[in-house]
Amino acid sequence: MNQDPDKQAKDRSQTWTILRLLEWTTDFFRSRGSESPRLDAEILLAHARSCSRVELYTAFASEPSEEERVAFREMVRRRGDGMPVAQIVGYREFYSLSFRVNEATLIPRPETEHLVIEALDCAARLNRQQNVLHVADVGTGSGAIAVTLAKHIPDAQVVAVDISQKAIEIAQWNAKQHEVDGRVQFLESDLLSEVEEPTQFAMICSNPPYVTEAEYDELAPSVRDFEPRSALVSGPCGTEVIERLFEQCRERLCSGGQLIIELSPMISQACMDLGKETGLFDEMRSIKDLSGHRRLLSMRRESDAP
Number of Cα atoms under 13 Å in the Cβ half of residue 288: 4
141 forms part of the interface with ligand GLN (CB under 6 A): yes
280 forms part of the interface with ligand GLN (CB under 6 A): no
- Please state whether 233 falls in left (phi above 0), alpha (psi between -120 and 50) or beta: beta
Assign 8 to helix, strand or coil.
Answer: helix
C-beta separation of 226 from 84 below 8 A: yes
What residues have CB less than 8 Å from 67, skipping those under 6 apart?
none
- Helix (H) or strand (E) segment spanning residue 91: strand 91-94
123 forms part of the interface with ligand GLN (CB under 6 A): no
- Please pick, from the candidates 25, 26, 34, 140, the single residue that binds ligand GLN as defined by CB under 6 A: 140
- Please pick, from the candidates 126, 145, 253, 296, the single residue that binds ligand GLN as defined by CB under 6 A: 145
- Please pick, from the candidates 64, 84, 139, 257, the single residue that binds ligand GLN as defined by CB under 6 A: 139
Of 48 and 158, nearer to ligand GLN (C-beta) is 158
Ordered alpha helix ranges (H), 137-209: 144-152, 165-177
- Please pick, from the candidates 209, 238, 257, 275, the single residue that binds ligand GLN as defined by CB under 6 A: 209
Q: Which residue is nearest to ligand GLN (CB)?
A: 141
Angle between helix 37-48 and helix 66-80 axes, rounded to 10 deg? 140
Site residues for ligand GLN, window 70-109 (CB under 6 A)?
Answer: 106, 108
Binding stretches for ligand GLN (CB under 6 A) = 106, 108, 112, 139-142, 144-145, 207-209, 231
